[in-house]
């Protein structure tokens, strides 16, 4: 049924259709509307049997999901930003134990400075936690990916993060098609755990493993992720067959087959990028885009195949490795190793800064006219004047004060003081 609803409500509906048996969550913007929606569904009995645990932290939220999943229940949680970091230890534990938990990450910046708006620094920081990472471009895709995520997680027995841009998707009202319970039931089989805490057949889960077997256990995690590279396209194809639309998969090329310049990105910004691609195509420029839908496992071969022919590649990403450069950029370079095409790392949209078509046109104009240096990190729409003033202050005065407050004062966001 097609409904005009908020992205969070669409995700709550999708999760409920997957019949989770335990939901545990702790509130953090911009994830709140998802778990509030689920709380309503559990309280009214529309989602039953399901236990909803309102826990005291994100660490507890994922820990309760770990216990529930190990007890054989389909378990779900959601978080963002600081919450994801607070879960970090449990993230590695869930993946290390091979528990197929599904979690929404409503992507949000990480402080300091504290910021509630969207970027990808939260999920990118946990890219090596052993969780599969799927990135939604639209609210419809966010909804669809959750249904696929349970199937995928349970098939490979690894946890899955469905990443959707905070506010941009979670709080946006769009028309989405919500499948019926029968459709989802037909697509998603009952959860049959590989391991379960059962008094009839007692097992120890989470025993200590020393050097004699640690490598092997870790290799098996890696092998399961590699297996997911095959399972993800299958799950996506089955979804297309059952629901009549394409969602998810490993990568999604857009007018890139003959493109000389390809923009690579993850998440909702792909919509804006595709509009810019269309406009540049109208001007006769051979520009395309490639969306990475699955960042972990990383589809190395598919990325190489999709980008290998391009003359230049622009990686637009909403996070970066401080002290080094682009994260997605590094991964793209790895896929392209041995090929001559330059890769431009562009950091954009940090802490919710809008990525506009105009900025992307300017960026691509710079790229096409060799005004950018490949291999050097570019910060889209950065205000060098503000940066310069603050650097000047730090040179002039030992106790120059906190960066964030100084810059806010410069732009007049806080009351001007004598500094």
* Positions that interact with other proteins (CB under 8 A): 21-22, 24, 49-51, 53-57, 59-61, 63-73, 75, 89-90, 93, 97, 196-199, 201-210, 212-213
Residue 116 or 197 having the CB closest to other proteins: 197
Nearest Cα residue to 344 out of 359, 324, 363: 363
Closest approach, Cβ 103 to other proteins, in A, equals 14
| Residue 302 near residue 169, CB atoms below 8 Å | no
Closest approach, Cβ 202 to other proteins, in A, equals 5
294-296 and 287-292 as β-strands: parallel, antiparallel, unpaired? unpaired
Residue 173 or 214 having the CB closest to other proteins: 214
Closest approach, Cβ 189 to other proteins, in A, equals 17
> At a CB cut-off of 8 Å and minimum separation 6, what does 370 contact?
none
What is the distance between the alpha carbons of residues 411 and 170, in angstroms, rounded to a whole number?
Answer: 29
Closest approach, Cβ 83 to other proteins, in A, equals 14
Residue 24 or 294 having the CB closest to other proteins: 24
H or E element, residue 249: none
Residue 4 CB-density burial (10 A; 0-12 exposed, 13-18 middle, 19+ buried): exposed
Closest approach, Cβ 97 to other proteins, in A, equals 7
| Residue 150 near residue 188, CB atoms below 8 Å | yes
Closest approach, Cβ 274 to other proteins, in A, equals 41
Residue 89 or 278 having the CB closest to other proteins: 89
Nearest Cα residue to 363 out of 378, 342, 384: 378
What is the distance between the alpha carbons of residues 74 and 68, in angstroms, rounded to a whole number?
Answer: 7
Residue 1 or 208 having the CB closest to other proteins: 208
Residue 192 or 258 having the CB closest to other proteins: 192
């Amino acid at each position: 049924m097609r409904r005009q609803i908020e992205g969070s409500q669409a995700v709550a509906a999708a999760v409920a259709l997957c019949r989770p048996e335990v939901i545990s969550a702790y509130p953090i913007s911009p994830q709140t509307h998802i778990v509030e929606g689920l709380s309503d569904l559990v309280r009214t009995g529309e989602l039953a049997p399901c236990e909803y645990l309102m826990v005291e932290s994100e660490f507890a939220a994922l820990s309760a999901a770990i216990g529930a999943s190990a007890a054989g229940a389909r378990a779900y949680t959601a978080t963002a930003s600081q919450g994801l970091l607070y879960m970090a230890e449990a993230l590695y534990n869930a993946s290390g134990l091979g528990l197929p938990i599904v979690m929404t990450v409503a992507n949000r910046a990480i402080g300091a400075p504290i910021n509630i708006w969207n970027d990808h620094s939260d999920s990118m920081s946990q890219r090596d936690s052993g969780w599969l990472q799927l990135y939604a471009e639209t609210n419809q895709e966010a909804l669809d990916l959750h249904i696929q995520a349970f199937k995928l997680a349970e098939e490979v027995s690894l946890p899955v993060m469905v990443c959707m841009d905070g506010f941009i998707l979670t709080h946006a009202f769009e028309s989405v098609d919500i499948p019926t319970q029968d459709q989802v039931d037909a697509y998603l089989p009952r959860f049959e755990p590989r391991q379960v805490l059962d008094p009839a057949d007692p097992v120890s889960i989470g025993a200590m493993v020393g050097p004699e077997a640690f490598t092997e256990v870790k290799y098996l995690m890696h092998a399961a992720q590699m297996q997911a590279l095959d399972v993800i396209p299958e799950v996506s194809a089955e979804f297309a067959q059952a629901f009549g639309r394409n969602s998810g998969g490993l990568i999604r090329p857009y007018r890139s087959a003959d493109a000389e310049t390809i923009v690579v990105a993850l998440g909702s910004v792909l919509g804006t990028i595709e509009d810019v691609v269309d406009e540049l195509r109208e001007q006769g420029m051979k520009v395309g885009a490639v969306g990475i839908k699955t960042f972990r496992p990383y589809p190395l071969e598919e990325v190489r195949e999709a980008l290998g022919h391009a003359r230049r590649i622009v990686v637009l990403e909403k996070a970066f490795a401080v002290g080094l450069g682009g994260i997605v950029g590094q991964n793209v370079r790895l896929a392209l190793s041995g090929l001559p095409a330059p890769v431009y790392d562009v950091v954009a949209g940090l802490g919710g800064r809008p990525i506009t078509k105009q900025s992307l046109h300017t960026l691509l104009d710079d790229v096409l006219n060799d005004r950018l240096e490949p291999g050097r990190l570019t910060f889209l729409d950065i205000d060098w004047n503000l940066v310069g003033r603050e650097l000047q202050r730090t040179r002039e005065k030992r106790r120059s004060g906190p960066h964030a407050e100084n810059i806010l004062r410069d732009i007049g966001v806080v009351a001007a003081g004598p500094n």
